[in-house]
Structure 1
Amino acid sequence: MITAAGMEGCGSKAPAPPAGQTAPQPQQPAEPSGEAGQEQVQPALKPRDEIRDQVEAMSLDEKVGQLLLVGLDGTVVDGHAREWIHTYHAGGFILFRDNIENAAQLAQLTGDLKEANRSGGGVPLWLSLDEEGGRVSRMPAELAKPPSAAAVGRADKPAASLAIGRAVGRELGAFGMNMNFAPVLDVFSNPGNTVIGDRAYGRDPAQVIRMGIQAMKGLQSQQVAAVVKHFPGHGDTSVDSHYGLPVVTHDLDRLRKVELKPFAEAVRSGADAVMVAHILLPKLDAEVPASLSRRVVTGLLREEMGFSGVVVTDDLVMGAITKRYDLGQAGVQAVAAGGDVLLVGHGYEAGTAVFSAVKRAVQEGVITEARLKESVVRILRLKAKYRLRDERPGAVDTAALNEEMKNAMKGLEAPLPAGGK
């Protein structure tokens, strides 16, 4: 069984010798053989990779489970949640407004999830949500709400965006949460785009970069994994992917000049995770949405843009997918495309269907074991980087958190220093 201890940092030191004894001295190398004066070169030993060792020791169910990030029904740890943990070995959970009543209940919920997972010796859980600010805010009402990305973008003060990102990260961390599906790096280039709208930092890629990258760094500074979204760019769409499949007709040249710029800068700036959108880009792949496209995920994001981190699908239980695909098959296609985490935010049956389809695809060779292990290694490396622990959160000081958020937001109104932004 894989345990929380496996999330500790890699590498170990040799044990100290008992008291009164001296450490054994390294053996001298043997005299080189062969012709006089010719040294025998020994091949260097590769350092042990503890994460890969951990993945090799996992069962198939444990490996497939790490790919699943699932939703909850209600506000407590129910039977389905325990099945996700103990039977399906889910990699983590995403919380929505329906799961959060108040600060005390949220701390109880996250603590109970961690305790249930720890009791089974599982890999520590991702506990995630969408805390963008503005109209997309899931945290309890007792906490000061972060401003919308549009408000941050209008102020155009990167230091304030960094401070707000830190404050959001501090809030999430206080409740034991460790992943945020933010910031939004879409360029708001279509005024008729209501699904993005004020969730974007602006219409200029440079402005989105200035604000969005700092928000990402602020979250990361508080040991919260930031998942930048919605690659390759949801800003010039007119259809909401919750209900239908948006189509973006731009070619790659246009995408590189506008939509892709913030994501390229995020990759250069240390992005850990990228969410891929359910949008169709016919000039890149006319057959399937970006989230299921090998040309987009592996060809564009990984190979051309050099991203080696964790790729997350947007919620598979969205109209863009469910109206066109069998949910299990969509999960299989997303993994085959190069994705790592399959987000299934709603419905126990939906999540178990995805789990079963991916497991069967591996058993039948549709997804190779090597491909599955690639994703699990990436996921476990990121969990190790953020030092995930299944420990209950401590007492939450909402007044202190609110004070930090309010101070961060004051930076949006501060005058510009002499010489620029």
Structure 2
Amino acid sequence: MSRSAPLALAALTAVAAVLTASPAQAHAPVAEGGPPPQRVHHAVTLHREPPKGSPRAVLARMSLPQKVGQLFMVGTPADEVDARTRGQIGRYHVGNVILTGRSYDGVRDPRRVSRTMQQQVTRRTTAGVDLLVAADQEGGQVQVLQGSGFDDMPTALVQGTWSPATLRAHARTWAGQLRRAGVNLDLAPVADTVPSRRAARHNPPIGRYDRELGFTPRRVASHAVALVRGLAAGGVGATVKHFPGLGRVHANTDTHAGVTDRVTTRHDAYLRPFARAVDAGAPAVMMSTAIYARLDPGRPAAFSPYVVGTMLRGDLGFDGVVVSDDLGGAAQVARVPMGQRATRFLAAGGDLVLTVHPETLPAMYGAVLTRARDHAAFRALVDGAALRILRAKDDRGLL
């Protein structure tokens, strides 16, 4: 053996060690202050190209403007195509829409709206990736799609009196109705717990409309899980809301500013429904814009790295899509400049910016794109958020 042979053998051994390193070893460290590391099965390996058509491969072929577009969900009336939103799929690469208002004439109108929006998908607009089409289909007074082809859904409070098995079966049926209308993401269930029937009268966002599944975290948890699993069985994703809970506030963040929860703590029993729904496989969790005095008193939850990263991602282990509550028209965030509403949410660890009003989208999109171009760390957050959204879409067959 020549003198150089041992050196060559050592070099080959070192290379082999790198190529066979575990995903956890190969994964680059997370920047200080960022969200907790993702689970090992999501880590980047050094020796394999992502399978063609996989979420990571789709992300790799996207331009930065297209990636940013995936991070937005923009409103259109459920019974009428909003020309502005339709145009934004092309101009701003918007990757998702929400059906708003009310539609009373059955499946035809929302299906037409959904189909028209999906027809805007091309390689140039969204890199060929179909849209998440969402609706608030909870039941009771919060049922966007009504009429022939849709059940007359009872309130969540009534749903909470059914057995979990019965509720799961109904949820599967409701999911099938949504799919026929072109909807693939339900912004439900509500996992907020109102403490009592009496407290409900003083809780405008949830209790006043009987949106709670019950008055104990245990009841809410069991029935939120039933809804998550029933919707999934029917081919529709669930969105658990509004983390970390709106059941103990005394004003509505849509119509009032300064809405503050003064009781919720990090390991509060009222977080149990969210934890159970996450464990049941909920693909999305919606963030509240209320302020939580005992968690992060300086920021709404949707803008809080502590609430999103430490609690939702860390304590609950959620690695799915974090959705904002409406950031376009909510009074709670009205004093925050429009563009900063989007960048603060994403910087906190959020993924999908929801704005009901299409006129607010240009400022939000522009702010995110500019910051992503100028700051590598923020650009990495955009990549991570877009990848989580693409994974959720892959589960829905939208890639």
What TM bracket, shorter-length normalisation? Answer: 0.7 to 0.9
Judging changes above 3 Å, is the alpha-carbon distance between structure 1 residues 366 and 343 closer, same or farther for their aligned structure 2 residues? Answer: farther
> Higher relative contact order by CA 8 Å / sep ≥ 6: 1 or 2?
1
- What does residue 42 of structure 2 align with? none
Aligned to 1:408: none
% identity of equivalent residues: 32
Residue 332 of structure 1 corresponds to: 343
Query: Does 1:292 find its partner at 2:303?
Result: yes
- Checking the alignment, whether the CA contact within 8 Å between 1:67 and 1:341 is kept in structure 2 is yes
Match of 1:377 among 377, 382, 387: 387
Q: Quote the offset at 1:358 in angstroms.
A: 0.9
Distance across 1 between alignment mates of 2:62 and 2:303: 26
**Stretch deviating more after TM superposition (89-98 or 357-366):** 357-366
Give 1:98 deviation, angstroms: 4.7
1:126 to 2:132 alignment: yes
1:70 maps to which of 71, 74, 84: 74
From 231, 236, 250, the equivalent of 2:263 is 250
- Aligned position for 1:410: none
Deviation of residue 101 (structure 1)?
A: 4.7
Q: Specify the alignment match of 1:400 in structure 2.
A: none
What pairs up with 1:40-189 in 2 under 5 angstroms?
A: 42=16, 43-44=19-20, 46-49=47-50, 50-72=54-76, 75-98=79-102, 101-118=105-122, 122-142=128-148, 143-155=150-162, 157-189=163-195
CA contact (8 A) 2:107 2:180 kept: no
> Is the contact made by 1:89 and 1:122 (CA closer than 8 Å) also made in structure 2?
no
Residues 69 and 90 in structure 1, CA contact (< 8 A), matched pair in contact too: yes
CA distance in 1: counterparts of 2:335 and 2:73, whole angstroms:
22
List per-residue Cα deviations over 1:65-118 (Å, max 9, x = no partner): 000000125844353133211111111110023566542222222122112224
Aligned: 1:312 with 2:323: yes
* Alpha-carbon distance between aligned partners in 2 of 1:144 and 1:294, rounded to the nearest angstrom: 39
Aligned to 1:226: 238
* C-alpha distance after superposition, 1:245-270 (max 9, x if no partner): 32111252xx5343211111112221
How far apart, CA to CA, are the structure 1 residues paired with 2:270 and 2:81? Answer: 40
Report the counterpart of residue 406 of structure 1 in structure 2: none
Q: Distance in 1 between matches of 2:47 and 2:137?
A: 41
TM-score by length of 1: 0.78
User: Equivalent residue of 1:127, what SS?
Assistant: strand
Determine if contact 2:103/2:109 at 8 Å carries over to the other structure.
no
Distance 1:99 1:93 in 2: 16
Q: Is the 8 A contact 1:336 1:367 kept in 2?
A: no
Asked if the contact 2:157–2:214 (Cα under 8 Å) also holds between the matched residues in 1, the reply is: yes
1:276 & 1:240 partners in 2: Cα distance?
A: 14
SS in 2 for 1:368: helix
When Rg is computed on C-alpha atoms for both structures, the one with the higher figure is 1
Q: 1:211 aligns with which of 220, 223, 240?
A: 223
Q: Does the aligned pair in 2 maintain the 1:201–1:212 contact within 8 Å?
A: yes
* Corresponding position: 1:282 with 2:288: no
Compute the displacement of 1:326 (Å): 1.1
Instruction: Check whether the contact 1:223–1:386 (CA below 8 A) recurs between aligned residues.
Output: yes
Instruction: Give 1:122 deviation, angstroms.
Output: 3.0
Q: Is the 8 A contact 2:146 2:152 kept in 1?
A: no
Amino acid at match of 1:115: Q
| CA positional deviation for 1:367 | 5.5
In 1, Cα distance between the equivalents of 2:59 and 2:104?
33
Counterpart CA distance in 1 for 2:237 and 2:117 is 19
2:365 pairs, out of 355, 359, 370, with 355
Task: Output the amino acid matched with 1:203.
Answer: F
Q: Which runs of 5+ in 1 are unaligned?
A: 1-32, 390-421
Q: Which moved more, 1:91-100 or 1:198-207?
A: 91-100
Amino acid at match of 1:97: G
Computed over aligned residues only, the root mean square deviation of the Cα atoms, in angstroms, reads: 2.3
- The one-letter amino acid of 1:371's match is L
Deviation at 1:357, TM superposition (A): 1.1
Aligned with 1:110: secondary structure? helix
Unaligned runs of 5+ in 2: 21-45
Letter in 1 for 2:143: S
- Amino acid in the other structure paired with 2:379: E
1:203 Cα offset (Å): 1.0
**Aligned amino acid, residue 248 of structure 1:** D
For 2:151 and 2:55, locate their aligned partners in 1 and report how far apart those are by CA, in whole Å: 39
* Residue pair 2:290, 2:332 contacting (<8 A) in 1 also: no
Do 1:196 and 1:234's aligned partners in 2 also have CA atoms closer than 8 Å? yes
CA distance 1:205–1:74, shift in 2 (3 Å): closer
The alignment partner of 1:356 has SS state of helix
| Structure with greater strand share of residues | 2
- 1:296-336 superposed Cα distances (whole Å, 9 cap, x missing partner): 10111112221111100001124344432112111110000
Residue correspondences, number? 352
Aligned partner of residue 238 in structure 2, secondary structure = strand
Maintained 8 Å contact 1:241/1:318:
no
136 and 58 in structure 1: CA distance in 2 versus 1, 3 angstrom threshold: same
